Structure formats: structure tokens, C-alpha cells
């Protein structure tokens, strides 16, 4: 497992893959130093933003701050990241509090050397030359990347969708069911499709709309 920590240690550009260990890191943040190991045993939403004091980034941080307690209720911590310094982060947080009346409850890390951004594939030169794109990573309690997305700089992410995706991952882990499109907590899950003719016929006899599509209430 690679580690992005010492700014003097170069890290090769990353290509994160689902189901693989997240790259270890150590960052200076607005809440002190943080490392990937600090989040062991809990879910982590690690997300980057292009720059402080920008309108889209500000809107995203306000949205995530308002959902912070719901993330915490699902055992998930949040950690923001950009190539700006921690001093810029602090000034931005103060501005958000003073202008919008919103307290940012989670840490924001600095990545001036771009070591973490490179290791996680957050730098996309075709989008911007130096800023990170809007990358989001859901890392499970064992340190495995379970979901990631990349958005271009002008497009804000949907905080509710990040929360829904986290709940869906936890549901599939707990029940073994899949979650359909537009799934919300409490909705039915989906069983795996049959792999034999006998099972397919049984699925149809059970009243499923199609032999390959059978739902089941979740147990959690």
C-alpha cells in the first residue's frame, strides 16, 4: 500500500479501483493532523474541491455541513481536501460562518505538494492545470475503496446522493441484497438473478414481474 504523507516523497499518479485498499496519507488539517489510520473502524468520505473561496465549493461545503449529523449517524466521518493551505481553509471556514451562518464541523486538509491528490487521481489537467477536480471516495472501516466519483470543476455534487450511496453500501453489506436505481433506506432490495431454468421458473411462479427481477424487503 502506498503512502502519501511526506511532501518531499514523490507519489506516482494514482488510479483508484473499487475494492482495493485506499492509499495511506497523513495531512495537516483544520482539526490538526489526520491520517487514514485515524478512521480505521469507521466509514470515511474523503472528498476534494478545486479551491477555497469559490462559489460551487462553498455551496457543497454548506450542503455537507447540514447533513453532517446524518453521516455521523451512519458511522461516517468527512474529510475535505484541496491544494490550498490550511491557513486559507481557516479563513474560508470563518467566512462561511460569518456570511452564511453555517459552521463547518469536519476537517479540511491541505495538500500543497499534491501528493495525496496525485495518489488518488484527483488532478485532471484537461479540466484545470493545478486544482483538484471534485473527487469523492467512500472508504469502508477496513480501508477499502467502495465507491468513487469525479465531477468537473463547474458542476457541484449532490450531498444527499453521497449520503444515499453510503446507506446503500451499508445495506448491501448487511443484507446481501442489491439496491435498485432510486433506492432509498427502507425500500426493498433486489435478489441476484437466477442462474438455472428451474430457479427462473420458480421466480416467475412467485409473482416476480420478470424471472430476472425479484425484490425482497430489507431486514435492517
How far is 114 from 177, CA to CA, in rounded Å?
A: 38
Spatial contact of 60 and 45, defined as CB atoms under 8 Å apart: no
Q: What burial class does residue 134 get, using C-beta atoms within 10 Å of its C-beta: 0-12 exposed, 13-18 middle, 19+ buried?
A: buried
Q: Are 47 and 78 in contact (CB under 8 A)?
A: yes
Q: Of 4, 11, 57, 64, which one is the catalytic site residue?
A: 57
**DSSP category for residue 38:** G
Nearest Cα to 191, choosing from 216, 156, 158? Answer: 216
Q: From residue 15, give the alpha-carbon distance in Å to each of 23, 113, 173.
A: 10, 18, 25
**Does 76 qualify as catalytic in the annotation?**
no
Cβ(178)–Cβ(192) below 8 Å: yes
Q: Is 41 left (phi over 0), alpha (psi -120 to 50) or beta?
A: left
Distance, in Å, from the CA atom of 188 to the CA atom of 180, rounded to the nearest integer, reads 8
Residues forming the active site: 57
Amino acid at each position: 500500500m502506498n503512502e502519501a504523507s511526506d511532501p518531499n516523497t514523490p507519489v506516482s499518479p494514482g488510479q483508484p479501483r473499487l475494492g482495493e485498499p485506499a492509499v495511506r496519507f497523513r495531512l495537516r488539517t483544520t482539526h490538526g493532523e489526520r491520517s487514514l489510520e485515524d478512521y480505521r473502524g469507521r466509514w470515511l468520505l474523503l472528498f476534494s474541491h478545486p479551491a477555497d473561496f469559490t462559489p460551487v465549493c462553498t455551496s457543497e461545503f454548506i450542503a455537507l455541513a447540514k447533513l453532517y449529523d446524518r453521516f455521523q449517524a451512519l458511522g461516517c466521518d468527512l474529510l475535505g481536501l484541496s491544494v490550498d493551505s490550511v491557513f486559507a481553509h481557516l479563513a474560508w471556514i470563518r467566512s462561511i460562518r460569518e456570511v452564511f451562518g453555517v459552521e463547518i464541523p469536519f476537517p479540511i486538509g491541505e495538500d500543497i505538494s499534491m501528493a495525496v491528490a496525485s495518489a488518488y487521481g484527483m488532478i485532471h489537467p484537461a479540466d484545470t492545470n493545478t486544482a483538484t477536480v471534485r473527487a469523492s471516495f467512500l472508504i469502508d472501516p477496513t480501508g477499502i475503496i467502495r465507491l468513487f466519483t469525479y465531477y468537473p470543476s463547474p458542476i457541484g455534487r449532490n450531498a444527499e446522493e453521497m449520503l444515499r450511496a453510503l446507506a446503500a453500501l451499508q445495506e448491501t453489506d448487511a443484507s446481501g441484497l442489491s439496491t435498485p436505481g432510486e433506492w432509498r433506506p427502507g425500500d426493498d432490495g433486489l435478489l441476484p438473478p437466477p442462474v438455472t431454468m428451474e430457479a427462473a421458473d420458480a421466480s416467475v411462479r412467485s409473482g416476480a414481474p420478470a424471472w430476472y427481477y425479484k425484490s425482497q424487503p430489507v431486514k435492517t
